[in-house]
Chain A
């Protein structure tokens, strides 16, 4: 496939879910089936498009690349290597099942489905983007998108304060981690000059980057902080169980199968780059991962809510995956000690997603509290089906024989074994114990699930109260669908969990189904020939570990230990932090800064401005420039200008004296009109026109707002001298700043400095390039400076009319030639600057403008709805509407 085609196909795959999600908003709410079909197109389309890529390219492989913002190092660089593609497959594959499950879960609740699917699709796009990004900045963009969509989905029940709190908690924890990661990646990019994983990999390969230096280690720690918060590593694991406030499809998808693995994924991405060279890699990752692994399982067994149990086992499994990448820093047989990492990740998704799906299904028809589910199996036919599949998935959690999970756990134990074997470090015996303990807890959880659900019911089960309902907005509690749609509650889970057994029982089924996903399979081939299935398990430390874990687990499962409820002390971390900042630190700090008095704010800003100006010139007033052009005009020529200036001064002086608000607004308008006159006089018709219309609009706005504001003008003024001093200082500062910014050459931008020629200043540059610039200088060949294509051409060939032709022959000798900038194609420089040279700024400005208007609408509507006016003091001293001028 050609590279450019690959780029577009990958981008289409990334944005396919988002586009389908957006389009689904156009379908009227009651049409559930068309909506479902359209949404299914998202993940299925992504899957189909991704299937065009092969897995041959490794980390150093080719990258699909399109420039986006080259100066900011933000480019669309996508890399379909094995890990990224696998992850994208996982996201879209499980995504299909979750979309179907959501239909079963929300039932006929059209409003919920209308709102739910677009959120889900934003997430899907974000995570496929994370998986395929090669560029750091692009990665961060998608990464934050996953945090935002996760926030929206956790806080699904907008009316329940607890769920909103949990959403905030998850967002703040992962967001803070994301900021750390952003800092780390920027630091890494600035330090090494490489802004893509591929580039970084090659730089490390060729020894261009000094690894193990302090900057790289700092980068590693910052990036790992991002990964650890996202993947809920100790002590940040508390947000993940909190995130279970979300509807179950979200828990099954984001918070077990896919998003929380993003941190593991990033660790896996950086493993080939950093693991071998940064000595801290294993010593940081393994202890944290291993502790999370044991601790998560330890908490899980003491929970009673099904979703909480599975949330903590997810934490535990994430710890295991982290440990796996930590152990990969060691070597075994000259190869990295990493066996089937992709399989480990896949395996977890294949049993954890079904567990959540079925937990949600059981909660939907009964309750999620395990003690209340005693004998649930005997309730009715539907309950029997759900119980069977839940237990099948639970067997996978326990890593029992004849599941894929068994093999995966064996391989993890092999990794520990190899590390122990190679390093002879006794600390790894601790890790062996941690592995056994985790396995034991998981087995015990399964045993307890089994014994509770299958127990003979003591009494007639009480009438069902729905715990995990589609938190009904207009959803009738007892309206259950029948047939296929009802079966969608458990069918996707059954489908996913079946792979656990197909791959676990049938030899080579895994090889044909999933093994091609895994790049490290060659390594395993080299050491025992086959995937360590239950059939060909051979005696050794790993198998003993599994057997001990199962034996102890059965004992613990039936035993009386650890039956109480245990609350994770880390749950208090976030509320404590929150209370500290909002109750103690916040009011203290804000009390000083946020006085609620506009005069104070404006004064602070102005004083800071003057202060910064004085600081920047270092108190050396001799630096200040005076206009170089001498006044040559006669008095009569100057007269109109002087008159207008007099008007401006007069209105400015009258403003503070006049007390009536309306008069002041009119005075301001007068001042503005005079300024417009000055613009017109000094040949800036563009500015004059803009100023004139802005004055009219703001006059109307002002008068409208004033008529809403109660007249509370104080009759006396405080601190007049201070205000006077600030005012004069600001006036002088602005005067000098304007002079120095127009009178002296601007510091030129780097791309203007090419060839070291005598370059014009920025204003000159704009003037020259507004239509199409012509410049005589030596340029070897066509180049792109900051997005402006310049071409070297023979001066003899240049005719005035030719300048528009994009294709002009290049001067081969690199002699003195004419440089043609294909500029904005407009003679009105002001407009070209606004829409072309500074188009990004304008884009930002109109966005802000639109948001401000939306804000005004929302606030006014709210006021109308509540029917009461706010405290009049809120309006005192309020400034004008933010308008661009």
Chain B
């Protein structure tokens, strides 16, 4: 597979940055623009760029498990979030939220506001990543 050097060099910079950005917008998604769906898309775009520049084998090394498991785990996680409320005797998908006091290096602690639906969002994140990366991977293989 021949790809341009520019793409390869660029990908080295872009892919890790985008992945970190994806994780960032996932965590901040409940308060500021972002969320699991977008984060999943950003992460999958990063992975696709990686695949386009370094090939399918390199992607496999980076992502050792099949995308199918991403989808399965994501769906289970999303459904499981609903069931937890259910086990606690609340209606399905009842959410809870609170604060997590995180220590910081600059003194005052940082209050991260968590919500139980973040687990659900993580499920969305994984499903979206799995679907997009998996589909594009399979289609690209078809072309080669």
Q: How far is the CA of A846 from the CA of B34 in the complex (A)?
A: 17
Q: Are B92 and A846 in contact (CB under 8 A)?
A: no
Q: Are B44 and A827 in contact (CB under 8 A)?
A: no
A contact residues around B93 at 8 Å (CB): 787, 836, 839-840
Q: Are A828 and B36 in contact (CB under 8 A)?
A: no
Q: Are A826 and B31 in contact (CB under 8 A)?
A: yes
B contact residues around A118 at 8 Å (CB): none
Q: Are A831 and B29 in contact (CB under 8 A)?
A: yes
Q: How far is the CA of A835 from the CA of B136 in the complex (A)?
A: 26
A contact residues around B139 at 8 Å (CB): 701, 704-705, 708, 856, 860
B98, CB-defined interface residue at 8 Å: yes
B contact residues around A832 at 8 Å (CB): 30, 117
Q: Are A828 and B130 in contact (CB under 8 A)?
A: no
Q: How far is the CA of A707 from the CA of B136 in the complex (A)?
A: 13
A69, CB-defined interface residue at 8 Å: yes
Chain A 682-696 interface mask (CB, 8 Å, partner B; 1/0): 000110011001101
Q: How far is the CA of A694 from the CA of B120 in the complex (A)?
A: 21
B contact residues around A69 at 8 Å (CB): 91-92
Q: How far is the CA of A884 from the CA of B128 in the complex (A)?
A: 10
Q: Are B131 and A849 in contact (CB under 8 A)?
A: yes
Q: From known contacts A787-B94, A824-B97, A860-B142, infer whether A697 and B89 are also in contact, taking CB-CB under 8 Å.
A: no
CB distance from A75 to the nearest CB of B (A): 9
Those of B114-141 within 8 Å (CB) of chain A: 114-115, 117-118, 120-121, 123-124, 127-128, 130-132, 134-136, 138-140
- B53-61, B71-79, B102-110: which lies at the A interface? B71-79
Q: From known contacts A825-B97, A884-B37, infer whether A689 and B120 are also in contact, taking CB-CB under 8 Å.
A: no
A27, CB-defined interface residue at 8 Å: no
Q: Are B130 and A853 in contact (CB under 8 A)?
A: yes
Q: Are A689 and B25 in contact (CB under 8 A)?
A: yes
Q: Are A690 and B89 in contact (CB under 8 A)?
A: no
B contact residues around A825 at 8 Å (CB): 30, 95-98, 113-115, 117
B contact residues around A700 at 8 Å (CB): 48, 136
CB distance from A208 to the nearest CB of B (A): 27
Q: Are B30 and A846 in contact (CB under 8 A)?
A: no
Question: Looking across the interface, which residue of chain B has its beta carbon closest to that of A693?
Answer: B41
Q: How far is the CA of A849 from the CA of B128 in the complex (A)?
A: 8
B contact residues around A839 at 8 Å (CB): 82, 93, 95, 117, 120
Q: Are A835 and B124 in contact (CB under 8 A)?
A: yes
A608, CB-defined interface residue at 8 Å: no
Q: How far is the CA of A689 from the CA of B82 in the complex (A)?
A: 27
Question: Looking across the interface, which residue of chain B has its beta carbon closest to that of A788?
Answer: B94
Q: Are B98 and A804 in contact (CB under 8 A)?
A: yes
Q: Are B36 and A835 in contact (CB under 8 A)?
A: yes
Chain A 257-279 interface mask (CB, 8 Å, partner B; 1/0): 00000000000000000000000
Q: Are A842 and B130 in contact (CB under 8 A)?
A: no
Q: Are B115 and A826 in contact (CB under 8 A)?
A: yes
Q: Are A881 and B34 in contact (CB under 8 A)?
A: no
Q: Are A686 and B33 in contact (CB under 8 A)?
A: yes
Q: How far is the CA of A799 from the CA of B139 in the complex (A)?
A: 56
Q: Are A830 and B92 in contact (CB under 8 A)?
A: no
A813, CB-defined interface residue at 8 Å: no
Q: How far is the CA of A696 from the CA of B114 in the complex (A)?
A: 30
Q: Are A842 and B45 in contact (CB under 8 A)?
A: no
A contact residues around B72 at 8 Å (CB): 850
Q: Are A68 and B91 in contact (CB under 8 A)?
A: yes
B contact residues around A745 at 8 Å (CB): none
Chain A 844-862 interface mask (CB, 8 Å, partner B; 1/0): 0011011011101100100
A67, CB-defined interface residue at 8 Å: yes
A contact residues around B82 at 8 Å (CB): 839, 843
Partner of B143, one of A707, A787, A863, A884: A707
Interface residues on A, range: 35 or more
Q: Are B91 and A828 in contact (CB under 8 A)?
A: no
CB distance from B26 to the nearest CB of A (A): 10
Partner of A66, one of B89, B94, B114: B89
B90, CB-defined interface residue at 8 Å: yes
Q: Are B34 and A856 in contact (CB under 8 A)?
A: no
Question: Looking across the interface, which residue of chain A has its beta carbon closest to that of B22?
Answer: A693
Q: How far is the CA of A182 from the CA of B25 in the complex (A)?
A: 44
Q: Are A850 and B140 in contact (CB under 8 A)?
A: no
Q: Which of A697, A828, A835, A840 has the most C-beta atoms of chain B within 10 angstroms of its own C-beta?
A: A835
A834, CB-defined interface residue at 8 Å: yes
Q: How far is the CA of A685 from the CA of B38 in the complex (A)?
A: 11
A contact residues around B127 at 8 Å (CB): 846, 849-850
Q: Are B33 and A828 in contact (CB under 8 A)?
A: yes
Q: Are A852 and B75 in contact (CB under 8 A)?
A: no
Q: How far is the CA of A832 from the CA of B117 in the complex (A)?
A: 9
Q: Are A693 and B124 in contact (CB under 8 A)?
A: no
CB distance from A771 to the nearest CB of B (A): 9
Q: From known contacts A826-B31, A846-B74, A846-B78, infer whether A689 and B38 are also in contact, taking CB-CB under 8 Å.
A: yes
A contact residues around B90 at 8 Å (CB): 67, 787
Q: Which of B135, B142, B143 has the most C-beta atoms of chain A within 10 angstroms of its own C-beta?
A: B135
A4, CB-defined interface residue at 8 Å: yes
B3, CB-defined interface residue at 8 Å: no
B contact residues around A70 at 8 Å (CB): 91
A contact residues around B35 at 8 Å (CB): 686, 828, 830-831, 834-835
Q: Are B32 and A828 in contact (CB under 8 A)?
A: yes
B24, CB-defined interface residue at 8 Å: no
Q: Are B91 and A697 in contact (CB under 8 A)?
A: no
Q: How far is the CA of A685 from the CA of B25 in the complex (A)?
A: 12
Question: Looking across the interface, which residue of chain A has its beta carbon closest to that of B85?
Answer: A787
Chain A 25-63 interface mask (CB, 8 Å, partner B; 1/0): 000000000000000000000000000000000000000
A contact residues around B143 at 8 Å (CB): 704, 707-708
Partner of B131, one of A696, A843, A852: A852
Q: How far is the CA of A856 from the CA of B142 in the complex (A)?
A: 12
CB distance from A565 to the nearest CB of B (A): 50
CB distance from A219 to the nearest CB of B (A): 28
B contact residues around A843 at 8 Å (CB): 78-79, 82, 120
B contact residues around A690 at 8 Å (CB): 37-38, 41
Chain A 661-690 interface mask (CB, 8 Å, partner B; 1/0): 000000000000000000000000110011
Q: How far is the CA of A836 from the CA of B94 in the complex (A)?
A: 8
A contact residues around B89 at 8 Å (CB): 4, 66
CB distance from A124 to the nearest CB of B (A): 21
Q: How far is the CA of A827 from the CA of B113 in the complex (A)?
A: 10
B15, CB-defined interface residue at 8 Å: no
Q: Are A826 and B30 in contact (CB under 8 A)?
A: yes
Could you write out 8 A-B pairs with CB less than 8 Å apart? Answer: A67-B92, A701-B135, A787-B93, A830-B33, A846-B78, A846-B128, A853-B135, A854-B68
12 extra A-B contacts, CB within 8 A, seeds A827-B30, A843-B82: A67-B92, A685-B33, A689-B33, A693-B45, A704-B136, A804-B99, A824-B97, A830-B35, A831-B121, A835-B117, A835-B120, A846-B127
**The 4 residue pairs across chains A and B that have the minimum distance between CB atoms:** A825-B97, A693-B41, A826-B30, A831-B35
Q: Residues of A with Cβ closer than 8 Å to B?
A: 4, 66-70, 685-686, 689-690, 693-694, 696-697, 700-701, 704-705, 707-708, 787, 804, 824-828, 830-832, 834-836, 839-840, 842-843, 846-847, 849-850, 852-854, 856-857, 860, 863-864, 881, 884
